[in-house]
Structure 1
Amino acid sequence: MRRIYLIAAALLAAPLIACGQAGENAGTAESAEAEAAAAADYERGPHNGRMLRDGDFAIEVTVFEDGVPPEYRLYAYRDDKPLDPKEVKARVMIARLDGEKTTFDFAPQDDFLRGNAVLVEPHSFDVVVEASMGGKAHKWSFASYEGRATITDAAARAAGIETETVGSQAIGDTVEIIGRVELDPAGSAEVGAKYPGPVVAVFRNVGDRVAKGTLLAKVESSYSLQTYAIYAPMAGVISARNANVGSIADSEPLFVISDPARTVATFPIFPRDIERVRPGQQVQIRGLEGERTQSAVIRDFLPLADVTSQAVTARAALPNRDGFWRPGMAVRGLVTVEQRQVPLAVRTDAIQQFRDFRVVFAKIGQTYEVRMLELGKEGPEWTEVISGIKPGTVYAAENSYVIKADIEKSGASHDH
């Protein structure tokens, strides 16, 4: 399925926001590339910040984060000559995509005005700057966006993007185990002869699918010399055949019929893990290659340990209605051995790398925006979030790499 979504993402390589060409989609076709270009199209000052001019007065807006948490620093000029920061009063207001607003006041320090609070990531917001000197007020506004992509709901569905809501989840410690798929003995039947005697006809072979009541063979009774029929006691596939015309039917089974929809994953549990893995624990099973994953529960342990390795075999029921799991196939299991409830968690598969951060993409309307996360315990399905996103935030949980690719393609940068 992931390959299908990759193809969908490639087809959406032209800006995803432009996939709707008319009607309501046309209203969401604001290009991410245009936003990035607009953000970069401004005058830079001596400190590589954004220059804001009003007549002969100017403010240079910078975000300083060299060895300290990000903070605003403003430099004032008149006729392009630095001004004493003690002569200038300023404040900056930012409004984020989710509606949160923050106001920063400034105090003079050295040759600049220093903001009074940390500028929290992401640095993506609409900005209003106010400054005054000698009784004259100045005001500017501009957009400073990063890590944003506008994607219509139709385009998101086509790309396989699915959302979840940030909230409390159970996070588990895991143990990885390697095993194989086997037919479930409880889903098999051995078919024997009622009376000993020569086999006179055989109608089915290994691999044949049979219904309950299907005629399998005929045997001549050595007692009555009468021929009787042997029928399948259950539906399934013939997995073993020990009957040929002329052979003598006795106590050994003539056929073994197995239900291929009933398989088990068997895992050798070695001494280092035997105290941690228990019946009833959740296990995520997947092939050694590919994306197919299936949840199961450790059902039981075989009673005897292997003499050489001292491993004990654990079994997990693996329903197989579509026949994907084949007996003998190697599989990997992740057993959840301990769980604890955490206040905030996101899907592990939703997490992407963005700059130096691990992130998810919050969804507000039809816009997705990066959220830099501080993470705690990581599990195969859920990962604890310490900070960086608010409870109740909707985020891209499936195929979030499509959003990351669109942002990277647009060239959106960490700029101010």
Structure 2
Amino acid sequence: MTKFPVRVAAAALFLTVPLTACSGGAEGEDKHEEGESHGEGEEESEGPNGGRLLKSGDFAVEVTIFENGTEPQFRVFPTQGGKPVDPKTVQLAITLTRLGGDIDRFSFRPQDRFLAGQGVVTEPHSFDVEVVAVVNGKRHVWKYANPEGRTRIAADAAKTGGIETAIAGPATVGETRELYGTVQLSPTARSEIRGQFPGRVVAVTKAVGDYVRRGELLARIESSESLQVYPVHATASGVVAERNANPGDVTDGRALYVLTDPSQTTVVFNIFPRDLATIRSGMRVTVETQDGAEIATATLGQYLPEGNAEAGTALMRATIPNRSGALRPGMALRGRVTVNAVNVPLAVRTEAIQPFRDFKVVYANFGQDYEVRMLKLGRSSPEWTEVLSGIKPGVAYVTKGSFLVRADIEKSGASHDH
């Protein structure tokens, strides 16, 4: 296939599928209307303006996309027998059918020695094209495919390559503040077990570190008043953090056992002075390990009465579950809070955005087909980026594995430089 220059006075349409057109034959041939001409099987050729030359007998049109210092616009140069034709004598229309079913229609007006398309040819320049020209009462029709930034990847190959998609739609975009904190037991995680009556400790059944279920026997005490032995049971489930009695000891009102529930944990975050005006109680915080693995999403509580005098920070607590027991008191964690949040009608995940030529793009997904979408972007956060134009709501796009899509497009040659 012949490659055309892409930056001259006009940028050419790059065509990867042969022209579907034919030269007018006998009346009624191929069921075409009388006076209508369809080219057929003609080889792709380049016109004198660097565009795609479409022929039908001795009549031809050269289709270009002009984008030198302006938004892309069709310019079509008509000729008869190789000589320019007055564009005022030609009626022209171009229809573009895009991946996903969108259709763009262009009418034309004469301008200088060409026909100027009325409208912008939006990126990507990837579509099936139908060109209809009427001159001297005869209708000429050409059809061809013009893919750009497009590839097809089988479903099993996409799965193996780790390709994942999401749907473009509304999202909350804001600035991200990073917090640092440590794991602590929740204030409700501590239980102190005491004897009901003063007396001598006869027996103890648990040691520090033992797990205890609620109602389980912990000790027996001989009452000093009745001299009867009564049992002491656990009032909550948890781990024995302290045992303050041994057989023979006399209870004096102190706690015999201290139980803690390791599933009830909180993270106490340091809030630096610069963030005091923006981080407030009730905000959602994403809790992560030091290496960035997400643990949970929690809600920030009120500022604690005490602060961290050594660090010069205020403190806020967020309760997170610890059912697996992986969190340990003293463990350092990080948090991410979104501030100045704004709800936007259309956004994509920031990780999905990739470079393509001079654009920022995502790869739209239609079944096994993937195609570049050039985006005009607005506000951005590490998670979401607002989209002002370039992709429609409800369209699936690649979030992970986009490098595989890009590599496949570059390998197929279905792209060009503007």
Alignment of structure 1 residues 260-339 onto 2, 5 Å:
260-292=262-294, 294-339=296-341
Unpaired runs of at least 5, structure 2: 1-14, 20-42
CA gap 1:103/1:199 in 2 versus in 1, 3 angstroms = same
Can you list the C-alpha shifts for 1:24-66, whole angstroms capped at 9, x where unaligned? xxxxxxxxxxxx9658995445555434333454444333333
Counterpart for residue 386 of structure 2: 384
Q: How many angstroms does 1:273 deviate by?
A: 1.2
- 8 A contact 1:358–1:372 mirrored in 2: yes
CA distance in 2, matches of 1:381, 1:322: 27
Counterpart code for 2:401: V
Counterpart for residue 414 of structure 1: 415
Structure of higher RCO (CA pairs closer than 8 Å, 6+ residues apart): 1
SS in 1 for 2:311: coil
SS in 1 for 2:305: strand
Counterpart code for 1:386: L
What count of residue pairs does the alignment treat as equivalent?
A: 375
CA distance in 2, matches of 1:346, 1:356: 19
Counterpart code for 2:396: Y
Q: Does 1:405 align with 2:407?
A: no
- 8 A contact 1:180–1:328 mirrored in 2: yes
Max Rg structure:
2
CA distance in 1, matches of 2:72, 2:119: 9
Unpaired runs of at least 5, structure 1: 1-35
Counterpart for residue 167 of structure 2: 164
Can you list the C-alpha shifts for 1:201-223, whole angstroms capped at 9, x where unaligned? 453332x4332123445667788
- 8 A contact 2:149–2:409 mirrored in 1: no
User: Alpha carbon RMSD of aligned pairs, Å?
Assistant: 4.1
CA gap 1:302/1:86 in 2 versus in 1, 3 angstroms = same
CA distance in 2, matches of 1:247, 1:64: 98
Can you list the C-alpha shifts for 1:304-328, whole angstroms capped at 9, x where unaligned? 2233433111011112334454433
Q: Does 1:179 align with 2:196?
A: no
Counterpart code for 1:164: I
CA gap 1:312/1:225 in 2 versus in 1, 3 angstroms = farther
CA distance in 1, matches of 2:188, 2:328: 17
Counterpart for residue 120 of structure 1: 122
- 8 A contact 2:263–2:325 mirrored in 1: yes
Q: How many angstroms does 1:100 deviate by?
A: 2.7
Counterpart for residue 395 of structure 1: 396
- 8 A contact 1:344–1:384 mirrored in 2: yes
Task: Give me the TM-score of the superposition, normalised by structure 1.
Answer: 0.72
- 8 A contact 1:218–1:230 mirrored in 2: yes
Q: Does 1:203 align with 2:206?
A: yes
Segment drifting more, 303-312 vs 399-408: 399-408
Counterpart for residue 72 of structure 1: 74
Can you list the C-alpha shifts for 1:125-152, whole angstroms capped at 9, x where unaligned? 2111233556554321112223445567
CA distance in 2, matches of 1:400, 1:303: 43
- 8 A contact 1:334–1:380 mirrored in 2: no
CA distance in 2, matches of 1:323, 1:58: 76
Q: How many angstroms does 1:154 deviate by?
A: 7.8
CA gap 1:292/1:47 in 2 versus in 1, 3 angstroms = farther
Higher helix proportion: 1
Alignment of structure 1 residues 118-267 onto 2, 5 Å:
118-132=120-134, 136-150=138-152, 161=164, 163-164=166-167, 166=169, 168-192=170-194, 195=198, 201=204, 203-206=206-209, 208-216=210-218, 230-238=232-240, 240-243=241-244, 253=255, 255-267=257-269
Q: How many angstroms does 1:104 deviate by?
A: 2.1
Identity of aligned residues (%): 40
Can you list the C-alpha shifts for 1:314-361, whole angstroms capped at 9, x where unaligned? 011112334454433333222233443333334445544444433444
- 8 A contact 1:368–1:403 mirrored in 2: no
Counterpart for residue 11 of structure 2: none
Counterpart code for 1:385: V
Q: How many angstroms does 1:76 deviate by?
A: 4.7
Can you list the C-alpha shifts for 1:99-124, whole angstroms capped at 9, x where unaligned? 33222234455665432221112222
- 8 A contact 2:17–2:146 mirrored in 1: no
Alignment of structure 1 residues 16-31 onto 2, 5 Å:
none
SS in 1 for 2:306: strand
- 8 A contact 2:168–2:396 mirrored in 1: yes
- 8 A contact 1:360–1:395 mirrored in 2: no
Q: How many angstroms does 1:303 deviate by?
A: 0.4
CA gap 1:251/1:82 in 2 versus in 1, 3 angstroms = farther
Q: How many angstroms does 1:255 deviate by?
A: 4.3
CA gap 1:197/1:46 in 2 versus in 1, 3 angstroms = farther
SS in 2 for 1:342: strand
CA distance in 2, matches of 1:254, 1:349: 55
CA distance in 1, matches of 2:295, 2:78: 59
CA distance in 2, matches of 1:205, 1:271: 41
Counterpart code for 1:318: I
CA gap 1:341/1:211 in 2 versus in 1, 3 angstroms = same
CA gap 1:305/1:400 in 2 versus in 1, 3 angstroms = closer
Alignment of structure 1 residues 5-16 onto 2, 5 Å:
none
Counterpart code for 1:205: V
Task: Give me the TM-score of the superposition, normalised by structure 2.
Answer: 0.72
